[in-house]
């Protein structure tokens, strides 16, 4: 396993982050335990979840599974950097969502109970909050840090301007502020190259890409379809919309002798701004196969060919669209 510091802070995490959104949903509990045990054996020390994961079977189910896994002991809790998220609706009440101090405190306590732990290592805002002022958000987070219930705060799905706002407000309070940003980022979806990645670099945030394979689109979707494996209606629509690009992409991967999924992960890992893509294995085999991405070196020529197949927004703002 390879490791990297999470942005500007001293915390070191594995270059692959174990995403747990499938645990308790498409993956049953015994298999979930096996995946987490194997992740530890492989050196993955970065686990990501959220308070809502487990839906539609039930909000919080994934955190509960992780909590029962941690409760087995064996030093599991001390071996991982545990990240979870809050903001999205957790009930029918008017205050059961958002980033008010009320909701932050409520959801932190609820996640701690479900996870059966006394602290969360990385507490992430699942989306930008446009109603609660930053003074309220940071004051609530400061209290949780002082109480030892969380160690660091991260963001998810923020724009570059939101990161700047958050950090400047934190700086005024002499608070560490954000240490990471979790964004959608993959070969097909590269919008964050305009503003978010430059903001992460400027403020020292580690970048944690979610959906690194575009919901399966970059994981050999054409080949799997040819083998008779059914895609979801949403993925099938994406395949048809990007068929010519997928043909070129999978042909390049075949030329390299590598699985498309691993090439997609390797492309993210080559970016110095990226700390750890989030992988969401449904089986132990999928988890083990992902480690091949750490061994792939993409030449400048291959990177240019990937850019030609999956062009980004043209670089950073404003040069991407103005002289």
Any idea which residues carry the catalytic annotation?
A: 53
CA distance linking residue 57 with residue 94, whole number of Å? 22
With b for 16 or more beta-carbon neighbours within 10 A and e for fewer, the 237-264 pattern comes to ebbeebeebbeebbebbeebebbbbbbb
The count of other CB atoms within 10 Å of the CB of residue 282 is: 15
Q: Angle 301-307-313 (CA atoms, 0-180°, nearest 5)?
A: 145
| Backbone phi and psi for residue 203, each to the nearest 5 degrees, phi listed first | -100, 5
Which DSSP helix (H) or strand (E) runs through 307? helix 300-309
**What Cα–Cα distance (Å) separates residue 309 from each residue in 218, 245, 247?**
12, 6, 10
Task: Name beta bridge partners: 18.
Answer: 47, 279
List Cβ neighbours of 234 (8 Å cut-off, separation of 6 or more): 215
């Amino acid at each position: 396993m390879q490791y990297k510091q999470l942005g500007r802070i001293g915390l070191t995490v594995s270059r692959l982050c174990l995403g747990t959104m499938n645990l308790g949903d498409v993956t049953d509990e015994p298999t979930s335990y096996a995946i987490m045990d194997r992740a530890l054996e492989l050196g993955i020390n970065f686990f990501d979840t959220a308070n809502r994961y487990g839906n539609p079977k039930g909000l919080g189910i994934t955190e509960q599974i992780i909590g029962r896994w941690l409760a087995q002991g064996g030093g599991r809790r001390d071996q991982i950097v545990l990240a979870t998220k809050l903001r999205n609706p957790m009930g029918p009440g008017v205050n059961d969502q958002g980033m008010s101090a009320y909701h932050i405190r409520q959801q932190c306590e609820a996640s701690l109970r479900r996870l059966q732990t006394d602290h969360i290592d990385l507490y992430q805002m699942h989306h930008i909050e446009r109603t609660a002022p930053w003074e309220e958000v940071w004051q609530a987070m400061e209290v949780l840090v002082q109480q030892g219930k969380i160690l660091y705060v991260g963001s998810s799905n923020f724009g570059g301007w939101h990161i700047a706002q958050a950090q400047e407000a934190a700086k005024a309070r002499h608070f560490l502020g954000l240490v990471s940003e979790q964004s959608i980022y993959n070969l097909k979806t590269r919008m964050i190259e305009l503003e978010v990645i430059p903001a992460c670099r400027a403020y020292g945030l580690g970048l944690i890409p979610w959906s690194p394979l575009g919901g399966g689109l970059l994981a050999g979707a054409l080949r799997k379809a040819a083998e008779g494996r059914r895609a979801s209606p949403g993925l099938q629509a994406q395949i048809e919309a990007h068929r010519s690009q997928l043909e070129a992409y999978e042909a390049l991967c075949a030329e390299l002798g590598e699985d498309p999924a691993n090439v997609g992960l390797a492309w993210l890992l080559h970016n110095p701004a990226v700390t750890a893509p989030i992988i969401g294995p449904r089986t132990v085999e999928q988890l083990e196969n992902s480690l091949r991405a750490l061994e792939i070196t993409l030449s400048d020529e291959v990177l240019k060919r990937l850019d030609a197949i999956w062009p980004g927004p043209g670089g950073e703002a404003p040069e991407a669209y103005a002289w």
